[in-house]
Each structure stands twice: as structure tokens, then as C-alpha cells.
């Protein structure tokens, strides 16, 4: 098996990044994490990545001013220089242009802390509580030009309790993020996720436990 060369893009602490790095320590995992890129020099995850022995890079969006395309071209150059095949956005807080997205068709995935299509955008946990949602969660999806909108690969659900605080709910969601992101990357890297009419179809058998996270798996 040739493992897919994968880059993780971060802006912050990188706990999802760490979950992916840990999964990929298993030599039979189909993705190899070869690079972590941050758009902020102070992203806490950079140190964690370096401690894990990974190569890191900083492409600081601030040094490109308002020129989003120049920033993205610099990012693309770094990814190409490392012969990256799959890009994982893990708490990467920059919107990407249609040009950049088009460089990675069905090869760039994102994790969003909500049950998409509900609660796109920011402050998802506060908004879920305010909306009186009984259920909340996280979604891993392919990236398309429209924000938080691509085909859903995996989704994990958690209950919302009547007396929930934003931080308690965020912690519950984060724990499920750390389960579904490694699962989604495993399936994408092994070529088992096909997009059909805008929806993901998972090929081959999955365990019952995995099926609970995979809307596109055969029942």
C-alpha cells in the first residue's frame, strides 16, 4: 500500500491535527502526515507537530495584506513542494477562494463543529444552545467553494443538555471530532469515498460502529 502524502492546515491549538497524527502512526493507516502548515506563526499546534517529528511551515496570511490569492499561491507552492496529495483543514480559520479549492477536487477535507447543514460559520456551540437544539455534533466534508457546504463524509452526534454551557458542549463535540476525522481521512486516503450527485458514497464494508458516523455507508 502506498500511503497518501497528507498535509494538515491549522490556525490554532491543533487537537484535531494531533488526532490525525496519532492515527497515522499506524503503518497500515492509508495516509501519511508529512507536513503541518499554519497561517499564524503563533498557532499552538506548530509546536505539537514539531514534537511529533513532523515538518512544519508557516504561511502567514498577514504578510500578504488583503491579497488572498497571493497567500493561497504561496500555500499551494508549499504543498506542491512536498508533493501533497490530500489536504486536511483542522481548525484552519481562513476562507479559501474557488481557485484554491479547484486545485484540490475531492482531495481537501474540513472538519466543522456542527451537524451540517445546520450552523455553518462561527460560534456553532453557542448558536446550537440558543436555538434549543437537542442534538449537536461535528461534520467532516469535502471542501467546495461555498463555506461549510461540501459533500458530507462523516458526522458525529452528541446530545445537548438543558443546562449545557458553551464550553461543556464544545468539549463533548471535540471528543467526537477526534473520532470522526481519523475515520474520514482513512476512507478518503484509501479511495473508498466516491461523490455521486453531490453525496458521498462509502465503498466496501464498514463496522457497525463506523457506520454510525457515515451517512454514505450501505446500511
Q: Which chain residues interact with ligand GAR by CB under 6 A?
A: 10, 12-16, 45, 90-91, 111-113, 138, 174, 177
Across the strands, what pairs with 88?
8, 109
**Closer CB to ligand GAR, residue 111 or residue 187?**
111
**What is the closest distance, in whole angstroms, from the C-beta atom of residue 16 to ligand GAR in the complex?**
3
| Gap between the Cα atoms of 155 and 148, Å rounded | 13
ω into residue 189 within 30 of 0, thus cis?
Answer: no
Question: Residue with CB nearest ligand GAR?
Answer: 91
**Closer CB to ligand GAR, residue 21 or residue 90?**
90
DSSP-derived letter for residue 190 is: T
**Closer CB to ligand GAR, residue 16 or residue 56?**
16
Catalytic residues: 112
**What is the closest distance, in whole angstroms, from the C-beta atom of residue 203 to ligand GAR in the complex?**
26
Spell out the residues 6+ positions from residue 105 whose beta carbon is closer than 8 angstroms to its own: none
**What is the closest distance, in whole angstroms, from the C-beta atom of residue 146 to ligand GAR in the complex?**
13
The C-alpha angle 31, 32, 33, rounded to 5 degrees, equals 115
User: Residue 175: left (phi > 0), alpha (psi -120 to 50), or beta?
Assistant: alpha
**What is the closest distance, in whole angstroms, from the C-beta atom of residue 122 to ligand GAR in the complex?**
7
The total number of residues shown for the chain amounts to 219
| Gap between the Cα atoms of 81 and 25, Å rounded | 23
**Closer CB to ligand GAR, residue 77 or residue 130?**
130
Axis-axis angle for helices 166-189, 15-23 (nearest 10): 40
**Closer CB to ligand GAR, residue 42 or residue 77?**
42
**What is the closest distance, in whole angstroms, from the C-beta atom of residue 112 to ligand GAR in the complex?**
5
| Residue 157 grid coordinates | 452526534
Amino acid at each position: 500500500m502506498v500511503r497518501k502524502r497528507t498535509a494538515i492546515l491549522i490556525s490554532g491549538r491543533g487537537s484535531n491535527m494531533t488526532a490525525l497524527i496519532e492515527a497515522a502512526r499506524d503503518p497500515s493507516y492509508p495516509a501519511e502526515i508529512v507536513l503541518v502548515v499554519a497561517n499564524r506563526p503563533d498557532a499552538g499546534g506548530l509546536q505539537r507537530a514539531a514534537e511529533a517529528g513532523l515538518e512544519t511551515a508557516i504561511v502567514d496570511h498577514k504578510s500578504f495584506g488583503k491579497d488572498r490569492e497571493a497567500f493561497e499561491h504561496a500555500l499551494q507552492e508549499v504543498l506542491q513542494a512536498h508533493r501533497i496529495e490530500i489536504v486536511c483543514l483542522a481548525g484552519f480559520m481562513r476562507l479559501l477562494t474557488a481557485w484554491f479549492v479547484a486545485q484540490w477536487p475531492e482531495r481537501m477535507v474540513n472538519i466543522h463543529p456542527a451537524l451540517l447543514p445546520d450552523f455553518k460559520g462561527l460560534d456553532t456551540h453557542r448558536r446550537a444552545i440558543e436555538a434549543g437544539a437537542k442534538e449537536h455534533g461535528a461534520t467532516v466534508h469535502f471542501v467546495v467553494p461555498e463555506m461549510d457546504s461540501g459533500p458530507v463524509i462523516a458526522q458525529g452526534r452528541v446530545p445537548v443538555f438543558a443546562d449545557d454551557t458553551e464550553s461543556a458542549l464544545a468539549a463533548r463535540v471535540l471528543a467526537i471530532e477526534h473520532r470522526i476525522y481519523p475515520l474520514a481521512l482513512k476512507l478518503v486516503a484509501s479511495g473508498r469515498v466516491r461523490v455521486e450527485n453531490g453525496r458521498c458514497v462509502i465503498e466496501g464494508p464498514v463496522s457497525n460502529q463506523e457506520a454510525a458516523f457515515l451517512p454514505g455507508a450501505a446500511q
